[in-house]
């Protein structure tokens, strides 16, 4: 049986609520975790976060053994009797867990024993869970996903791309105080990773690699229209969620992200601190075989065409202007904008290197 402290139960339930997109009050009674979308992959991530935040190692079969909120609550309360610790976990003044929305989560590997850490910045959803389905990279690599502080939180009016990057830099340096750093980002996460890299370089740190995953450069592409997000979410086409519609908090964070991105114009990195840059594009549009007129979307918007329908080969698409004099390694891989973050193992990318 896991050994927990009294306050751990609330922290654990806070983590679960955060990841399934409900309030803590909704995790009561006979609420079934399976109905909230807790499959094997999500369970693995939740248990990893619980371990990271509370140091409580719950069994891999926790959600199978305790499929309802009341069952899990009883199990955790029973385990309190076996606790030998006497230091309570800090609880926020609101009564919710102080760490219910951590800025970083461990997706793969072990932070203390890993040879390398890779930090992945989130897409417009704000959740590092977007990278949960990535194949295991290597046992020696610790993959860390970053979360937005504005997920299920107030204060989104202060959300700027550069500002949120500053907060992530502080969290990254808590995980890894000194470089060299490896950073990456999918979709809007490419913008965040770029800004994080600039801040680290300005601070005298080395950024070894920067990986931009299907991230349309803002110098060429507009911010994604919110109508596209609504269309994709309504039609269950935001691939990470399978056949389920994404939760409301995710769509709300997209709105904040798009507002911030609309006011964001990137400037080039210092040529003296350029990292190796890797750009990966999906080969397909989300609706490559669908008549665009039938969607009702405005295909005069370049980023809408790029995301939904058009793909135009192995090009930097504007990123070369932000890395003056750098070599860019550019590749394509099977899938569309959403499925690219959980490719089948053994995929083969088509790559070339360009001198800019």
For 215-238, the pLDDT digits (tens) are 999 999 999 999 998 888 888 777
**Cβ atoms < 10 Å from Cβ of 20:** 18
Q: In this predicted model, what pLDDT tens digit does every residue of 85-143 receive, in sequence order? A: 333 333 222 222 233 458 888 888 888 888 899 999 999 989 888 887 788 889 899 99
Mean pLDDT computed over 211-216: 96
Residue 2 has pLDDT above 70, yes or no: no
332: enclosing H helix or E strand: strand 327-333
Domain boundaries for CATH 1.10.1200.10 within the chain: 6-80
Q: How far is CA 160 from CA 52, 78, 129, 156, 257, in A?
A: 28, 45, 21, 9, 8
Between 31 and 85, whose confidence is greater? 31
**Cβ atoms < 10 Å from Cβ of 57:** 12
pLDDT band at 174 (very low <50, low <70, confident <90, very high): very high
Domain boundaries for CATH 3.40.50.1820 within the chain: 104-355
Q: Which residue has the tokens 């990986």?
A: 211
CA–CA separation, 218 vs 215, rounded Å?
Answer: 9
Q: In this predicted model, what pLDDT tens digit does every residue of 329-354 receive, in sequence order? A: 999 988 889 888 865 533 444 454 45
pLDDT at 198: 97
Nearest to 134 by CA among 342, 355, 346: 342
Burial grade of 5 (CB within 10 A; 0-12, 13-18, 19 or more): buried
Residues 6+ apart with CB under 8 A from 55: none
Most confident of 84-88, 206-210, 308-312: 206-210
Given the DSSP bridges, would you call strands 350-355 and 327-333 parallel, antiparallel or unpaired? antiparallel
Residue 83 has pLDDT above 50, yes or no: no
b/e per residue, 207-230, with b = 16+ CB within 10 A?
bebbbbbbbbbbeebebbbeebbe
Taking domain 6-80, whether its CATH number is 1.10.3720.10 is answered by: no
- Six token digits for residue 54: 């509370």
Nearest to 16 by CA among 126, 120, 96, 124: 96
Q: What superfamily in CATH does domain 104-355 come from?
A: Alpha/Beta hydrolase fold, catalytic domain (3.40.50.1820)
**Cβ contact 212:280 at 8 Å:** yes
Residue 196 has pLDDT above 70, yes or no: yes
Cα-Cα-Cα-Cα torsion 58, 133, 104, 246, nearest 10 degrees, comes to: -100
Q: How far apart are the first and last CA of the chain?
A: 58
């Amino acid at each position: 049986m896991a050994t927990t402290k009294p306050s751990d139960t609330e922290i654990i339930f806070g983590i679960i609520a955060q990841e399934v997109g409900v309030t803590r009050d909704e995790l009561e009674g006979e609420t079934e975790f399976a109905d909230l979308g807790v499959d094997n992959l999500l369970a693995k991530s939740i248990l990893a976060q619980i371990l990271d935040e509370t140091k409580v190692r719950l069994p891999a079969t926790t959600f199978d053994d305790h499929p309802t909120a009341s069952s899990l609550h009883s199990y955790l309360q029973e385990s309190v009797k076996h606790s030998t610790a006497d230091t309570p976990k800090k609880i926020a003044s609101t009564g919710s867990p102080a760490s219910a929305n951590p800025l970083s989560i461990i997706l793969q590997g072990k932070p203390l024993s890993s040879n390398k850490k890779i930090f992945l910045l989130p897409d417009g959803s704000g959740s590092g869970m977007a990278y949960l389905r990535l194949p295991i990279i290597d046992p020696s690599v610790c993959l860390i996903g970053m979360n937005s502080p504005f997920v299920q939180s107030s204060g989104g009016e202060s959300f700027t791309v550069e500002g949120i990057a500053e907060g992530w830099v502080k969290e990254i340096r808590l995980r890894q105080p000194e470089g060299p750093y490896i950073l990456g980002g999918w979709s809007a996460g490419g913008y965040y990773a770029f800004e994080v890299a600039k801040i680290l370089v300005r601070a005298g740190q080395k950024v070894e690699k920067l990986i931009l995953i299907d991230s349309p450069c803002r110098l060429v592409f507009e911010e994604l229209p919110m109508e596209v997000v609504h269309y994709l979410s309504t039609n269950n086409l935001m691939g990470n969620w399978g056949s389920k519609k994404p939760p409301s908090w995710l769509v709300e964070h997209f709105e904040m992200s798009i507002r911030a991105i609309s006011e964001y114009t990137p400037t080039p990195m210092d040529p003296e601190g350029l990292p190796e840059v890797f750009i990966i594009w999906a080969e397909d549009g989300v609706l490559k075989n669908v008549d665009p007129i039938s969607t009702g979307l405005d295909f005069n918007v370049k980023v809408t065409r790029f995301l939904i329908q058009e793909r135009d080969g192995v090009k930097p698409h504007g990123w070369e202007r932000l890395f003056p004099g750098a070599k860019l390694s550019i590749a394509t891989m099977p899938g569309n904008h959403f499925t690219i973050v959980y490719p089948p193992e053994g995929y083969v990318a088509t790559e070339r290197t360009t001198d800019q």
